Amino acid sequence: MTGSTQGDLAKTATLDELYPKLAAIEMGAGWNKPTASLWPSPGSTFRPFHWRYDQAKGALDAAGRLIDTALAERRNLILMNPIAGNNYATAATTVVAYQMIMPGEQARSHRHTPNALRLVLDAKPGAFTVVDGVKLPMLPGDVLLTPNWSWHGHGNESDAPAYWLDFLDVPIVHLLNPMFFEPYPGDFEPGTELAGTSPLLFRWEDTERRLDDAAGGQNGAHAVEIKLGDPALDTLALSMIRLTPDAETTPVRTTANNVYACVSGEGETEVGDARFAWRRGDVVVAPAWERHRHRSSGGAVLFRVSDAPIMTKLGFFRSE
Ligand code: 1HN
């Protein structure tokens, strides 16, 4: 037995003597810090933040000279929320990364329990992801899903580097611990050409048509939002928001974490006390319960990744 006996503990004369005895048996006095575990409303530790695509592109182009896909399973840049002690997560449940693959390269296939998706930023015909043996094309504005345990590898048969954003629920898998990861036997999974459509691919041309149709039905509204999937993944819901010129959205806050990426145009987002002026390819995070709104004078399209499905399933979703 480590620490004091039942009798020793029972005879302790003062609190000052009790605390070290508790520490020795890995117990703590719950009466000292009631506010350390419960507080009146979400006090998110994550910060509103903005990452710029032009800077990511510069760094990825350098990495393109400095590391190859044989060395790096993925040539990507993790968007780390700038809070003390964090060197991974973008928001509490979500990690976002910029990734680049050079002409002629292959990023070997693997599968993992975290759910993932990509938003393509710049790519020419010939860039692709093979998901469970099917070759999904990657063109700007396309969104590709690689759900829990699906094989995925990336390739580029075009003559230009391809850039995209990855979104994954890795931090929630870290918290709950059901992590499994497996490299593909034989490095790169071959893929058959996609015939027709796939539930794992939302092509920009289809998304754009849906946005046009939605706008037609909502005269005078400054923003239209369409869902991609319902939800696209078990943990993450995806949507595209079109801000019409001079749009200003109503401020909202929700217990869900929201990450926004600009697909086209320019604008700004206020998150709490912060204000971020963004352009194509940039990423802004609005952590849980931070009130936020978007503005665009010239019009823009924003991609939204939200962990609302997690909050809803667990009964924690609130919005105002
Ligand atoms: C991952 O597997 C990919 O497969 C991209 O392309 C980004 C970030 C964190 C963990 C795994 C990919 C990732 C990732």
Q: Is the CB of 136 under 6 A from ligand 1?
A: no
Q: Is the CB of 131 under 6 A from ligand 1?
A: no
- Looking at residue 261, its amino acid is A
**How confident is the model at residue 216, as a pLDDT?**
63
Residue 286: band (very low, low, confident or very high) from pLDDT cuts 50, 70, 90: very high
**How do residues 163-178 score in pLDDT, each as one tens digit?**
999 999 999 999 999 9
Q: Is the CB of 282 under 6 A from ligand 1?
A: no
Q: Is the pLDDT of residue 219 over 60?
A: no
**How do residues 95-122 score in pLDDT, each as one tens digit?**
999 999 999 999 999 999 999 999 999 9
Dist. CA 248–CA 223, nearest whole Å:
8
**DSSP at 34:** G
**How confident is the model at residue 70, as a pLDDT?**
76
Answer whether the bond into residue 231 is a cis peptide, omega within 30°.
Answer: yes
Q: How many CB atoms lie within 10 A of CB 103?
A: 14
Q: Which atom of ligand 1 is nearest to the CA of 146?
A: 4
CB contact at 8 A, 79 and 283: yes
CATH architecture of residue range(s) 49-202: Sandwich (2.60)
CA quadruple 75, 78, 79, 82: dihedral positive or negative?
negative
- Which regions of the chain carry the CATH code 2.60.120.10? 49-202, 205-313
What's the CATH fold of domain 205-313?
Answer: Jelly Rolls (2.60.120)
Residue 264: band (very low, low, confident or very high) from pLDDT cuts 50, 70, 90: very high
Dist. CA 153–CA 129, nearest whole Å:
6
Q: Is the CB of 168 under 6 A from ligand 1?
A: yes
CB contact at 8 A, 50 and 283: yes
Q: Which of 24-38, 95-109, 152-166, 293-307 is the least confident region?
A: 24-38
Q: Is the pLDDT of residue 289 over 70?
A: yes
Of 168, 180, 236, which is best to mutate to test ligand 1, by the most ligand atoms within 8 angstroms of its C-beta? 168
**How confident is the model at residue 218, as a pLDDT?**
55
Residue 35: band (very low, low, confident or very high) from pLDDT cuts 50, 70, 90: low
Record the pTM.
Answer: 0.94
Distance 18 CA to ligand 1 centre (A): 48
**How confident is the model at residue 221, as a pLDDT?**
67
Distance 167 CA to ligand 1 centre (A): 8
Dist. CA 96–CA 320, nearest whole Å:
26
Q: Which two tokens stand for residue 255?
A: 């217990």
Q: Is the CB of 240 under 6 A from ligand 1?
A: no
Of 69, 73, 74, which is best to mutate to test ligand 1, by the most ligand atoms within 8 angstroms of its C-beta? 74
CB contact at 8 A, 76 and 34: no
Furthest-apart CA atoms within the chain: distance in Å: 78
Dist. CA 125–CA 157, nearest whole Å:
8
